């Protein structure tokens, strides 16, 4: 698992998403009540989810306690995603892939309000000046992080340029969101049995 985590961090760093102090990536140690987290400086450590130390590890642990489907979590500082804070609004669903894999994003929030933000099943949004991303697996986390940044770039450029942003039709968001929730339900069930979630297949 440590090798998987290091490779994930390397990829996120190479994409310009994992940049600064406070950035971190973690993976759930399924069935053990623990997570393996890699923070700035490249140091990995095992942390109890029920009794984490303060700081970024506590935020990751809060996510795992709140969302039983989460198999991996990252706090990141990508250029375009962080600019959503200046807009102080949730990024709407504007791309099919976004609705299918990221779900409903939340407006910039604080860690104290995180549970409410995560309740919709959404997988990314700003928390305490960082981009928080979830995935039912490590690979899904990496995909979600890169996808959110691409969507944020398109959205921020459109908003700052005065362009009109057209949301996806509600039926597309409903169908895609329903598939996402099914994936998350399967992940919760697998974690409850002490098994890592399988990779979701297909669109």
- Answer whether residue 201 is part of any domain: no
φ and ψ of 70, to 5 deg: -70, 125
Provide the 10 A C-beta neighbour count for residue 113.
Answer: 12
Q: Find out whether 167 and 177 touch, Cβ atoms under 8 Å.
A: no
What does the block give as tokens for 26? Answer: 């973690």
Distance CA 44, CA 106 (A): 29
Indicate the number of domains in the chain. Answer: 1
Beta-bridged to residue 130, according to DSSP, are 127
Beta-bridged to residue 31, according to DSSP, are none
State the residue range of the domain holding 156: 2-191
- Answer whether residue 200 is part of any domain: no
- Answer whether residue 99 is part of any domain: yes
Q: Find out whether 109 and 125 touch, Cβ atoms under 8 Å.
A: yes
- Answer whether residue 199 is part of any domain: no
3-class state of residue 178 by DSSP? helix
pLDDT 10s per residue in the chain (203 long)? Answer: 999 999 999 999 999 999 888 899 999 999 999 999 999 778 899 999 999 999 999 999 999 999 999 999 999 999 999 999 998 888 999 899 999 999 999 999 999 999 999 998 999 999 999 999 999 999 999 999 999 999 999 999 998 887 778 888 889 888 998 999 999 999 999 999 999 999 887 66
Distance CA 158, CA 102 (A): 20
- Answer whether residue 198 is part of any domain: no
Edge-to-edge, what's the strand order for the sheet holding 130-135?
A: 43-48, 34-39, 24-29, 72-76, 130-135, 124-127, 106-109
Q: Which helix (H) or strand (E) holds 140?
A: helix 138-160
Q: For the chain, how many residues are written?
A: 203
Provide the 10 A C-beta neighbour count for residue 116.
Answer: 11
pLDDT recorded at residue 202: 60
- Answer whether residue 140 is part of any domain: yes
Q: Find out whether 17 and 52 touch, Cβ atoms under 8 Å.
A: no
Beta-bridged to residue 159, according to DSSP, are none
pLDDT recorded at residue 167: 84
Q: What is the CATH number of the domain that holds 100?
A: 3.40.225.10
Distance CA 9, CA 21 (A): 14
- Answer whether residue 197 is part of any domain: no
- Answer whether residue 132 is part of any domain: yes
Distance CA 183, CA 181 (A): 5
pLDDT recorded at residue 42: 83
């Amino acid at each position: 698992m440590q090798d998987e985590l290091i490779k994930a961090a390397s990829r996120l760093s190479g994409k310009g998403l994992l940049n600064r102090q406070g950035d971190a990536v973690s993976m759930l140690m399924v069935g053990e009540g623990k997570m393996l987290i890699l923070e700035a400086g490249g140091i990995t450590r095992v942390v109890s989810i029920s009794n984490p130390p303060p700081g970024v590890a506590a935020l990751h642990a809060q996510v795992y306690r709140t969302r039983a489907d989460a198999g991996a979590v990252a706090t990141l500082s990508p250029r375009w995603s962080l600019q959503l804070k200046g807009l102080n609004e949730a990024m709407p669903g504007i791309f099919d892939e976004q609705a299918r894999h990221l779900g409903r994003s939340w407006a910039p929030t604080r860690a104290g309000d995180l549970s409410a933000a995560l309740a919709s099943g959404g997988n990314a949004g700003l928390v305490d000046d960082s981009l928080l991303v979830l995935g039912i697996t490590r690979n899904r986390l990496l995909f979600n992080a890169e996808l959110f940044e691409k969507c944020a770039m398109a959205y921020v450029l459109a908003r700052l340029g005065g362009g009109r942003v057209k949301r996806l039709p509600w039926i597309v968001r409903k169908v895609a969101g329903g598939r996402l929730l099914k994936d998350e339900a399967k992940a919760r069930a697998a974690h409850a049995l002490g098994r890592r979630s399988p990779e979701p297949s297909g669109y």
